[in-house]
Structure 1
Amino acid sequence: MNQDCTPSPEEAKKLQALGLAVIHNEAAAIQALASRINGDFAQACGYMLNCEDRIVVTGMGKSGHIGSKIAATLASTGSPAFFVHPGEASHGDLGMITAKDVVLALSNSGETAEILTILPLIKRLGIPLIALTGNPQSTLAIQSDVHIDVSVEQEACPLNLAPTSSTTATLAMGDALAVALLESKGFTEQDFARSHPGGSLGRRLLLMVSDVMVTGHNIPQVSELASLRDALLEMTNKGLGMTAVVDESGRIKGIYTDGDLRRTLDRDIDIRNALVSEVMTPGGTTATTDMLAAEVLKLMQEKKINSLFVVNEQQIPIGALNMHTLLLAGIF
């Protein structure tokens, strides 16, 4: 039997107070960064914008973990970047850094031995060094080309020892740099999607109508001379809840949907003998193959329709899709 781990009301209140104190502390640390978005920040951005190759991020311990995240954020937002462990750099990985790179070094103390060890080699390459530290008077800060102060008054840790608020502040400043670069480069949603093709955003922004539409014999369509009964059979067989109504040249003249059927039943019409052209919706909303699937989804939502046909320049149906098609493709 599992032990009951539910804290007492007194313990729960204490735990909640401790958690809240951490949130307030780290929020204050981030807020304090606002005054440090200054000329040094702009100069750091300038170096990274003019970087001919990659932004090399380095840091030790907890700063290293934050550095890995910053490098990943930069890389996914249009600024090629990667993380190098400073300990490994002095044992061969420094060869990954070239004269066309920019180095972004993270150290709360500014005295991290592993980073200071590789400083002369970075200087020898003559590449810009940007430092994010909590000590503007530190060796790393003084040796850097640009220093950004990410110091905090106190860690969220009650002992003021565990890196908490300081790592949060460094991460926030890294995000500020990445987004500033993103905006300056004119990085778009499509650019982001291209670097995230497996994610939902990638599917939403990269999938074209032609990638998801039903084609060939699976397109429901009947002649404008067809009976309503034949149109309903076509809708049932193709399972899209609609059928195109086309003329003798194959051009779409209208559409008949499940919604049209409900409206037909409300009218005084002889369903058995009616022609589909008598009850169809003339014209109808259509799409083209060069549209993004996400564009079609927006169009369908605006028109409050659940399905439509994809047509070519001659207005001949070459595809069809509905909300279920888009849902299966992960567009929502």
Structure 2
Amino acid sequence: MPDFDFTASARRSIEMERDAVHSLLERLDEGFVKACDALLSCTGRIVVTGMGKSGHIGKKIAATLASTGSPAFFVHPGEASHGDMGMITRQDVVIALSNSGNTAEVVTLLPLLKRLGVPLISITGNPDSVLAKAALANLHTGVEQEACPLNLAPTSSTTTALVMGDALAIALLEARGFSAEDFAFSHPGGTLGRRLLLLVDDIMHDGERMPMVTPQTSLRDALLEMTRKGLGLTGITDQQGRLAGIFTDGDLRRTLDQNLDIHTSSISLVMTPQCKTVSQGALAAEALKIMEDAKINGLFVVDPDGRPVGALNMHDLLRAGVV
């Protein structure tokens, strides 16, 4: 089909699904509020179920709910009829998806759910269906036409169901006051989790690995300390053990222009006093921001008394996945 206009076909599908989603705005009524109230007051788990393409959408909705503060999981309706009903308790709320609202495997579960007294929320394309009428609240996601030109393959209808599920999840998220930190706890392996949960204490070089000299140390010995520890910097502490300054690779390049004798000149002559630091127990993301704002590649971690307890550089943050 060399003359087929693929982009025109794609544009038509996208426009049809866009219009279908837009129509949902008019259907946000008391039923949606009732559904949110039931889900928010759930003391158990939110159980999502659906067959076929509705099942695929249901799995995504369950995953979105679970990652945004509303514990949820998916149960296949066919498996529920053969033992998995035991996964549903009286404390749960069920969300059932079916475009027709008459899917046999889902409808079969209705008497069992009623017997348990489990609140049922339906997401259907037919508000007059068996499933919709049995539900505490029905969320109408029906479409006039699927994006499929045969009006057969679930396309626009699955999109509207997915968007309605997202709307539920986000409404609950906002009502719970769910924060970015809460989200990170659900995604500890992801970039956001690393940025929000990792502490400087977890990645800093401490103890013998921390480059440190005194103000009287010669520039030569300070350079040797920097070389041994490999962080491109060294700290300078005063008699009380507080951080008095820092000397970095950048400071070294500037020092070379001064023609100082590295054997007799003390590090206190060329160090940077009042240097940037980060507090012990701070988030690694905070250390990253300090470095980016100050355009530096490393800094020291200090305790409440200003004593250095560790050091880190941009490479440490890169290895930890914070950057």
Same fold (TM over 0.5): yes
Question: Residue 62 of structure 1: CA displacement?
Answer: 0.5
What RMSD over aligned residues (CA atoms) do the two structures have, in Å? Answer: 1.5
Question: Residue 209 of structure 1: CA displacement?
Answer: 0.9
Q: Give unmatched runs, 5+ long, in structure 2.
A: none
Question: Who is 2:299 aligned against?
Answer: 308
Deviations 1:88-144 (A, max 9, x none): 112221121111111101000011111111101111112211111001111111111
Q: Which of 274, 277, 288 is the equivalent residue of 1:283?
A: 274
The TM-score normalised by the length of structure 2 is 0.96
Secondary structure of the residue aligned to 1:313 is coil
Q: Which of 134, 139, 152 is the equivalent residue of 1:143?
A: 134
Question: Residue 72 of structure 1: CA displacement?
Answer: 0.9
Question: Residue 274 of structure 1: CA displacement?
Answer: 2.4
Q: Give unmatched runs, 5+ long, in structure 1.
A: 1-6
Deviations 1:194-226 (A, max 9, x none): 121122221111111111101111111111001
Question: Who is 1:68 aligned against?
Answer: 59
Which shows bigger deviation, 148-157 or 35-44? 35-44
For 1:111-150, what aligned pairs fall within 5 Å after superposition? 111-150=102-141
For 1:36-47, what aligned pairs fall within 5 Å after superposition? 36-47=27-38
Matched, 1:164 2:127: no
Secondary structure of the residue aligned to 1:253 is strand
Q: Which residue type is aligned with residue 139 of structure 1? A: V
Question: Residue 306 of structure 1: CA displacement?
Answer: 1.1
**Superposed structure 1 runs of 4+ greater than 3 Å apart:** 265-273
Question: Who is 2:145 aligned against?
Answer: 154
Secondary structure of the residue aligned to 2:311 is strand
CA distance in 1, matches of 2:259, 2:14: 66
Q: Which residue type is aligned with residue 83 of structure 1? A: F
Matched, 1:256 2:247: yes
Question: Who is 2:23 aligned against?
Answer: 32
Q: Which residue type is aligned with residue 88 of structure 1? A: E
For 1:173-252, what aligned pairs fall within 5 Å after superposition? 173-252=164-243
Question: Residue 296 of structure 1: CA displacement?
Answer: 1.1
Q: Percent identity?
A: 61
Deviations 1:265-294 (A, max 9, x none): 344655553221111110211112211111
CA distance in 2, matches of 1:119, 1:280: 75
Which shows bigger deviation, 136-145 or 18-27? 18-27
Question: Residue 308 of structure 1: CA displacement?
Answer: 0.4
Question: Residue 258 of structure 1: CA displacement?
Answer: 1.4
Q: Which of 105, 126, 147 is the equivalent residue of 2:96?
A: 105
CA distance in 2, matches of 1:165, 1:267: 72
CA distance in 2, matches of 1:276, 1:38: 71
CA distance in 2, matches of 1:265, 1:183: 57
Deviations 1:9-61 (A, max 9, x none): x34xx112212221221122112112222221111111000001011111011
Matched, 1:295 2:286: yes
Secondary structure of the residue aligned to 2:94 is strand
Question: Who is 1:327 aligned against?
Answer: 318
CA distance in 1, matches of 2:20, 2:263: 74
Deviations 1:144-187 (A, max 9, x none): 11011111121111111000111111011101101111111111
Matched, 1:18 2:39: no
Which shows bigger deviation, 110-119 or 89-98? 89-98
For 1:267-282, what aligned pairs fall within 5 Å after superposition? 267=258, 269-282=260-273
For 1:82-93, what aligned pairs fall within 5 Å after superposition? 82-93=73-84
Q: Which residue type is aligned with residue 237 of structure 1? A: R
CA distance in 1, matches of 2:21, 2:87: 32
CA distance in 1, matches of 2:222, 2:25: 65
CA distance in 2, matches of 1:183, 1:267: 59
